[in-house]
Amino acid sequence: MTAQTPIPPGTDLLAEIDRLRKERNAVILAHYYQKPEIQDLADFVGDSLELSRKAAATDADVIAFCGVKFMADTAKILSPEKIVVLPDLNAGCSLEDACPPDKFRAFREAHPDHIALTYINCSTEVKALSDVIVTSSSAETILAKIPPEQKIIFGPDRHLGGYLNRKFGRDMLLWPGVCIVHEAFSETELMKLKAQNPGAPVAAHPECPPSIIDHADFVGSTSGILNYAKEMDGDTLIVATEPHIIHQMEKALPGKTFIGAPGADGNCNCNICPYMALNTLEKLYIALRDLEPRIEIEESLRLKAKQSLDAMLEMASGTVGKGDLGAKVSGD
Query: Binding residue for ligand 13P (CB under 6 A) from 34, 39, 48, 74?
Result: 48
| C-alpha–C-alpha distance, residues 325 and 293, integer Å | 35
Closest to 203 (Cα-Cα) out of 32, 85, 87, 25 = 32
DSSP element (H, E) containing 142: helix 139-144
The residue among 181 and 246 lying less far from ligand SF4, judged by its C-beta, is 181
Residue 58, interface with ligand 13P (CB under 6 A)? no
Q: Residue 289 binds which entry of ligand SF4, ligand 13P, none, with Cβ cut-offs from 5 to 8 Å by kind? A: none
CB of 10 to ligand 13P, least distance (A): 36
Residue 266 vs 274, nearer CB to ligand SF4: 274
Residue 281 in the binding site for ligand 13P (CB under 6 A) = no
With CB cut-offs between 5 and 8 Å by kind, which of ligand 13P, ligand SF4, none does residue 136 bind? ligand 13P
Q: Which does 79 bind (CB under 5 to 8 A by kind): ligand SF4, ligand 13P, none?
A: none
Which of these ranges, 4-12, 54-62, 133-141, 160-168, lies near ligand 13P under the rule CB under 6 A?
133-141
Q: Which among ligand SF4, ligand 13P, none contacts residue 275 (Cβ within 5 to 8 A by kind)?
A: ligand SF4
Q: Which does 180 bind (CB under 5 to 8 A by kind): ligand SF4, ligand 13P, none?
A: ligand SF4
Percentages helix, strand, coil for the chain (3-state, rounded to 5) are 45, 15, 40
CA torsion sign for 86, 91, 92, 94 is: negative
Distance CA 223, CA 138 (A): 11
Pick 67 or 293: Cβ nearer ligand SF4: 67
271 contributes a contact to ligand 13P by CB under 6 A: no
Q: Which stretch binds ligand 13P (CB under 6 A): 82-90, 105-113, 134-142, 185-193?
A: 134-142
First and final C-alpha spacing in the chain:
50
Residues that bind ligand 13P (rule: CB under 6 A) add up to a total of 11
CA atoms 307, 326, 155, 153: torsion sign: negative
Give the side-chain half-sphere CA count within 13 A for 331: 13
Dihedral angle over CA of 204, 208, 213, 214, nearest 10: -150
Q: What does the angle CA 209 – CA 214 – CA 216 come to, to the nearest 5 degrees?
A: 100
Q: At closest approach, how far in Å is the CB of 47 from ligand SF4? A: 11
What is the rounded CA–CA span in Å between residue 208 and residue 221? Answer: 11
Q: Answer with the entry of ligand 13P, ligand SF4, none that 276 interacts with (C-beta below 5 to 8 A by kind).
A: ligand SF4
- What's the min distance (Å) between Cβ of 136 and ligand SF4? 10
Binding site residues, ligand SF4, CB under 6 A:
33, 68, 93-95, 121, 179-181, 207, 242, 273, 275-276
Residue 162 beta carbon to ligand 13P: minimum distance, rounded to whole angstroms: 16
Tell whether residue 319 is a contact of ligand 13P (CB under 6 A): no
74 contributes a contact to ligand 13P by CB under 6 A: no
Q: What is the dihedral of CA 137, 280, 259, 327, to 10 degrees?
A: 0
- Beta carbon nearer to ligand 13P, 123 or 221: 221
Half-sphere exposure of 131 (CA within 13 A, CB side): 16
Rounded Cα gap, residues 128 and 59, in angstroms: 25
- Ramachandran sector of residue 58 (left: φ over 0; alpha: ψ -120 to 50; beta: rest): beta
**Nearest in space to 283 (alpha carbons), one of 1, 2, 10, 16:** 16
179 binds ligand 13P (CB under 6 A): yes
What residue ranges bind ligand 13P (CB under 6 A)? 47-48, 121, 135-137, 179, 205, 207, 221-222
